[in-house]
């Protein structure tokens, strides 16, 4: 009987296995890279109706985040400012009232203008928590988690973009290791805060007050450790009794 | 040669001793070529009309299964009768039912191989195929029971952006691994066993397509000495590898229940009881399929009354083990003095919603196989077929009795509820039978239903000493006459 298959087919199964394995690897790699929020969310920078420059307002002018996002400490939702908040400074006779960039604001607020529609400025939402995930801003900012941890260095952004993946693993990473992100409560909206800025004596006095331990004892226990973020965060976690929930129902209620 | 004869004379072959002569495994002195022709003929000739009569409705039923699954995914598991407290309804009942059926195949092919039960050769191929198809049917249920089928990959430990990781403390996860391992090993074992026969099919094939396909899957088998040596070693190793799986899979399935605290589930007897039950139900399904197949395709000389007798004995044994487990459960619930346990079994056998199911189960699984104590009954194929179907039904009832009845009334009266399946669940279950039968009929149509090479291996003339014994017998007969 003649050979059914030519000689080169002898190596075919092996080659096929190698190819399938390689293909599988490539596909998994591509999916892992492109189909996760690290790729799909990060960098999202939509055009806004008004090119509001955070770096100008928050950095150069030194405005606090809470001037505009005023209820972030009280509410689960961090509100966008009402148009009146913008109008406070950019109203007639104030800062750059005629700037063409503020057209959408005048349409919303300036009743004397012929373009007046009364429709609020339609800001484009960038950071969006899915409906099935519960997130409370106040719970985080009142427990030493700064805006910067999830939103990035907004104070340096000319145009705001999605800086962090905000995937579930991103949330869980902090919920499992919250000492990495905790900072003193008065520094929440200071997006440039660094561990070196902390006044050691004041910090230990605060801890002593919170925990009831002696300042000297606390300092002695830390004498061989570097005074860095992790140390500060660890102390705050203990002092505030921070136990971020890790079960499903924490967020999926 | 003379040396061999002397050796053989010392170890007189059992079949030569009068009184305990073994029944031959292939009747009517069939030759090797007859075996090849008969088995290959099933695939090469046109299928009998009955094949089509069975195949068409089976495929239609399988289509119903597909339809119900689409309906399920697009609508949600609310279309099932599941409720609180009975979150595990027919879906899990049917999963355990099918996975249990999938046990006979590997038991026959692996354990009976290692214990050198030569009678396995005539039934191992078909029962392994049946195993695979049953596991396919079983796998559908937990997959869709998760509710969001497209999320089923969460069951696999794949690193992901949600940081979702499996709970390795959960028996449900062990189940995923146990069943998928079992399926993988069973497929490989079945396929390896098929290779020499695929080569036979290739060599006999007349059309190009057949030659190509059988040739492709025969992996270049030539039947040389060296190939056989490697093949047999590989087969032996695979048999050794799958033997523990026969015991582990259903043990792990039983952990789904036994490791919980639900009264009626929380029992240490579950693993052996489930394994025995699975073998019991599996053999019943093998008989249910093979009795018609052997008749239909004229395989009576290879699947002999001896085979059926052996399987009936296994059914009797495992059915009795299962009966022991039922009674022991009742005894422990009385003797163990746990009032919830006692209550659960009181509800199960006396005053619950489902006592009728308990007694169906008990009759089908424990009482009905006792008829196999009588050799005459084991020889009567109608009796065997009917009892096998009693067992099929009984094993389904067993899972029903265990699963919904235990959770329908557990600790708190506030958690009590009643479960009955919806019409969708019923059609789904029928649909899996359609899928199962379609796959099995396709198997009959395209693959040799009996392991040709292995059956030839148990013919008397395959024995290396066959001729010596023939000689001894002749000499003895001559002496006797003289």
pLDDT digits (tens, 9 = 90+) for A135-186: 999 999 999 999 999 999 999 999 999 999 999 999 999 999 999 999 999 9
* pLDDT, position B464: 85
Report yes or no: A6 at the B interface, CB cutoff 8 Å.
no
pLDDT in tens, A91-101: 988 999 889 99
Residue B264's contacts (CB-CB under 8 Å, 6 or more residues apart) are B341, B344, B345, B348, B402, B405, B406, B410
Instruction: Give how far B212 is from chain A: nearest CA, Å.
Output: 7
DSSP chain A: ---SS-GGGGGHHHHHHHHHHHHHHHHHHHHHHHSSHHHHTTT--PPPSS---HIIIIIIS---HHHHSTTTTTSSS-PPPPHHHHHHHHSTTSSSTT-GGGHHHHHHH-TTSTT---PPP-PPP-----TTS---HHHHHTTTB-THHHH--GGG-SS----S---HHHHHHHHH-GGGTB--GGGTT-TT--GGGS-HHHHHHHHHHHH---HHHHHHHTTTS--SHHHHHHHHHHHHT-----SGGGT--
Supply the pLDDT for residue B482.
61
Tens of pLDDT, residues B274-332: 999 999 999 999 999 999 999 999 999 999 999 999 999 999 999 999 999 999 999 99
The matching CATH number, chosen from 1.10.10.10, 3.30.540.10, 3.20.20.70, 1.20.1630.10, for B42-458 is: 1.20.1630.10
> What is each CA distance from B202 to B199, B301, B442, in whole angstroms?
5, 25, 18
Flag whether pLDDT at A197 surpasses 50. yes
Rounded to 10 degrees, what is the CA torsion of B392, B393, B394, B398? 100
pLDDT of B2 > 50? The answer is no
Domain boundaries, chain A: 54-80+123-250
Residue range B399-458, pLDDT digits in tens: 999 999 999 988 888 889 999 999 999 999 999 999 999 999 999 999 999 999 999 999
The answer to whether residue B6 scores a pLDDT higher than 70 is no
pLDDT at A124 over 60: yes
Task: Answer yes or no: is pLDDT of B246 > 90.
Answer: no
Closest Cβ–Cβ partner in B163, B202, B216 for A169 = B163
Q: pLDDT tens digits, residue range B446-474?
A: 999 999 999 999 988 888 888 888 888 88
Mean pLDDT of B348-373: 94
Per-residue pLDDT band for B3 (boundaries 50, 70, 90) equals: very low
Question: Is B160 in Cβ contact with A36 (below 8 Å)?
Answer: yes
Q: How confident is the model at residue A1 (pLDDT cuts 50, 70, 90)?
A: low
Question: Which positions in chain B touch A3 (Cβ < 8 Å)?
Answer: none
Q: What tokens does B26 get?
A: 């292939």
Contact B79, B422 (CB under 8 A): yes
Q: Is residue B365's pLDDT more than 90? A: yes
* pLDDT value of position B7: 46
pLDDT recorded at residue B470: 82
**Could you give the maximum distance between any two Cα atoms of chain B, in Å?**
89
Segment A191-213 shows an average pLDDT of 92
pLDDT confidence of residue B13: 53
Are B162 and A167 a contacting pair at CB < 8 A?
A: yes
Task: Look up residue B415 and give its two tokens.
Answer: 């958690």
Task: Enumerate the β-bridge partners of residue A145.
Answer: A182
What mean pLDDT value characterizes chain A? 92
In this predicted model, what pLDDT tens digit does every residue of B210-237 receive, in sequence order? 999 999 999 889 999 999 999 999 999 9
**Where do the structural domains in chain B lie, given as residue ranges?**
42-458
Residues of A in contact with B164 (CB under 8 A): 168
Residue of B nearest to A34 (CA): B161
What mean pLDDT value characterizes chain B? 90
CA angle B388, B389, B392 (to 5 degrees): 95
Nearest to B172 by CA among B142, B150, B137, B136: B142
Q: B31-66 pLDDT, tens per residue?
A: 899 999 999 999 999 999 999 999 999 999 999 999
Looking at beta carbons, which residues of chain B come within 8 Å of A1? 203
Alpha carbon distance B284, B122 (integer Å): 16
How large is the average pLDDT for residues A187-198?
92
A182, β-bridge pairs: A145
pLDDT tens by residue, A222-241: 999 999 999 999 999 999 99
Does any CB of chain B come closer than 8 Å to the CB of residue A169? yes
> What's the start-to-end Cα distance of chain A, in Å?
70
From A149, A170, A143, A146, select the one nearest A242 (Cα to Cα): A143
Between B105 and A77, whose confidence is greater?
A77
Contact A3/B at CB under 8 A: no
pLDDT of residue A193: 94
Write out pLDDT tens, residues A45-72: 999 999 999 999 999 999 999 999 999 9
pLDDT in tens, B19-36: 566 788 888 889 899 999
């Amino acid at each position: 009987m003649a050979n059914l298959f030519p000689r080169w087919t002898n190596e075919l199964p092996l080659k096929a296995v190698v190819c399938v394995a390689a293909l599988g690897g490539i596909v998994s790699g591509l999916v892992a890279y492109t189909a996760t929020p690290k790729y799909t969310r990060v960098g999202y920078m939509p055009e806004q109706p008004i090119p509001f420059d955070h770096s100008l307002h928050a950095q150069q002018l030194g405005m606090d985040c809470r001037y505009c996002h005023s209820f972030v400490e009280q509410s689960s939702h961090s509100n966008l400012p009402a148009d009146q908040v913008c109008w406070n400074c950019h109203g007639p006779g104030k800062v750059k009232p005629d700037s063409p960039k503020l057209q959408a604001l005048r349409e919303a607020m300036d009743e004397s203008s012929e373009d007046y529609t009364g429709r609020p400025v339609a800001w484009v939402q960038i950071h969006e928590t899915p409906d099935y995930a519960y997130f409370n801003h106040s719970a985080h900012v009142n427990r030493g988690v700064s805006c910067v941890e999830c939103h990035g260095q907004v104070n340096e952004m000319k145009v705001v973009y999605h800086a962090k993946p905000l995937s579930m693993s991103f949330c869980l990473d902090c919920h499992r290791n919250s000492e990495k992100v905790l900072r003193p409560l008065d520094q929440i909206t200071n997006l440039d805060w660094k561990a070196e800025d902390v006044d050691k004596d004041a910090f230990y006095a605060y801890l002593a007050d919170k925990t009831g331990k002696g300042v000297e004892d606390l300092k002695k226990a830390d004498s061989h450790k570097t005074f860095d973020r992790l140390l500060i965060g660890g102390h705050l976690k203990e002092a505030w009794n921070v136990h971020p929930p890790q079960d499903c129902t924490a967020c999926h209620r | 040669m003379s040396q061999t004869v002397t050796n053989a004379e010392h170890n007189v072959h059992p079949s030569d001793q009068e009184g305990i002569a073994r029944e031959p495994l292939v009747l009517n002195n069939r030759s090797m070529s007859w075996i090849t022709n008969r088995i290959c003929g099933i695939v090469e000739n046109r299928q009998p009309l009955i094949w089509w009569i069975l195949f068409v409705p089976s495929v239609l039923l399988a289509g119903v299964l597909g339809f119900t699954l689409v309906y399920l995914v697009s609508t949600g598991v609310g279309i099932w009768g599941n409720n609180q407290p009975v979150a595990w309804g027919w879906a899990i009942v049917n999963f355990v039912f099918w996975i249990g059926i999938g046990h006979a195949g590997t038991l026959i092919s692996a354990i009976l191989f290692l214990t050198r039960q030569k009678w396995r050769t005539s039934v191992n191929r078909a029962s392994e195929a049946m195993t695979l198809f049953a596991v396919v049917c079983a796998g559908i249920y937990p997959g869709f029971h998760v509710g969001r089928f497209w999320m089923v990959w969460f069951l696999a430990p794949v690193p992901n952006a949600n940081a979702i990781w499996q709970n390795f403390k959960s028996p449900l996860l062990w189940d995923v691994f146990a069943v998928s391992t079992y399926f993988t090993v069973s497929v490989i074992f079945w396929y390896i066993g098929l290779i020499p026969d695929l080569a036979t099919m290739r060599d006999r094939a007349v059309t190009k397509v057949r030659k190509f396909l059988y040739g492709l899957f025969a992996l270049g088998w030539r039947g040389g000495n060296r190939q056989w040596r490697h093949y047999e070693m590989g087969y032996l190793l695979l048999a050794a590898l799958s033997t523990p799986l026969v015991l582990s899979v259903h043990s792990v399935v039983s952990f789904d229940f036994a490791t919980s605290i639900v009264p009626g589930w929380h029992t240490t007897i579950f693993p052996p009881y489930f394994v025995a039950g699975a073998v019991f139900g599996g053999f019943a399904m093998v008989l249910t399929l093979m009795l018609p197949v052997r008749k239909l395709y004229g395989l009576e000389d290879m699947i002999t009354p001896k085979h059926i007798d052996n399987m009936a004995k296994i059914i009797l044994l495992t059915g009795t083990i299962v009966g022991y487990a039922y009674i022991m459960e009742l005894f422990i619930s009385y003797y163990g003095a746990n009032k919830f346990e006692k209550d659960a079994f009181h509800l199960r056998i006396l005053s619950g919603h489902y006592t009728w199911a308990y007694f169906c189960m008990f009759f089908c699984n424990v009482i009905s196989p006792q008829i196999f104590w009588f050799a005459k009954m084991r020889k009567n194929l109608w009796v065997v077929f009917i009892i096998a179907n009693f067992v099929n039904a009984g094993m389904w009832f067993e899972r029903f009795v265990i699963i919904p009845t235990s959770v329908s009334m557990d600790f708190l009266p506030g958690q009590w509820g009643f479960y009955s399946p919806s019409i969708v669940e019923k059609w789904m279950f029928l649909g899996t039978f359609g899928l199962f039968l379609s796959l099995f009929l396709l198997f009959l149509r395209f693959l040799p239903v009996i392991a040709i090479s292995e059956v030839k291996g148990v013919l008397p003339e395959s024995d290396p000493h066959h001729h010596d014994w023939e000689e001894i017998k002749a000499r003895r007969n001559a002496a006797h006459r003289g």
